[in-house]
Amino acid sequence: MQIIRCTTLAELNERASDLLIEELKQNPQSLVCAATGNSPTGAYQKLAEKQGSIIVENLTFIKLDEWYGLGPDDAGSCDYYLHKYLLQPLEVSAERYIAFNGKTDDPEKECSRIAKYLDEHGPIDICILGLGANGHIAFNEPADKLQPRAHLGTLSETSLTHTMVMDSGAVVKYGLTLGMADILRSRRIVLLVNGTHKNAVMEKLLEQKISTQLPASFLWLHPDVQWFYCDNDN
């Protein structure tokens, strides 16, 4: 894991977006996995500003996870976020966006659909991740065991206090998410973390002790992780 410590959030956004631009220039047919939340927002905005450097039309984006029960019209959904900050600014066509349907009546079938897509079109070329305050990656929550493939997971109390779901006003208990094996098969991983509220979990991650109780620790097993972090709120 290459650790890139940034002194400000603006620096993190600039450096992370530069790395993404370089990756997408080298592989203009990349399959990009996109996270949501506070950490990647600025990097996505910078990426949109610099999009003249890349050819977007051959890129494909896959959504990392989704709150089960929220659809694209719900302001707290991952779908809504990605369209606002990434897909619409980059003018990504609908056929180039692969996503969990948070409103599905059959979550098992939905997860099988995403797993099949990755089997046929994967692995992910570049996977953009955030870090949960409890160490979760996507909706792979701390537990005695982790799921390898796309699945419906029970959300932790930490995840349920996220502003995305709190602001939605919806009752959410589960999340559709890629599994740890799906993530670790990615050719390159970019981990974006910022804010003083993440300092405790960042310190645990730096111990390099791998545990299912800290899902992010499994990233130490991957050969190419770029970890950008800023341990303040500015």
Degrees to nearest 5, angle at CA 6 with 16 and 79:
40
How far is it, in rounded angstroms, from Cα 219 to Cα 185? 11
Residue 233: what residue type? Answer: D
Residue 218: CB atoms within 10 Å: 18
Q: Rounded to whole angstroms, how far apart are CA atoms 232 and 169?
A: 29
Annotated active-site residue in 23, 65, 74, 182: 65
Which of the residues 74, 79, 125, 134 is marked catalytic?
A: 134
Active-site residue (options: 23, 74, 101, 136) = 136
**How crowded is residue 26: how many other Cβ atoms within 10 Å of its Cβ?**
10
d(CA 222, CA 129): 13
What single-letter DSSP state applies at residue 86? I
Q: Which two tokens stand for residue 206?
A: 């730096």
Q: Is 136 a catalytic residue?
A: yes
CA 85: distance to chain centroid? Answer: 13
User: Cα separations (Å) of 200 from 101, 162, 171, 194, 231?
Assistant: 33, 17, 28, 12, 10
Q: What are phi and psi of 34, to 5 degrees?
A: -115, 125
Q: Where are the alpha helices (DSSP H) in 105-162?
A: 107-121, 157-160
Q: Which of 141, 151, 162, 182 is labelled catalytic?
A: 141
| 99, amino acid identity | A
Residues belonging to the active site: 65, 134, 136, 141
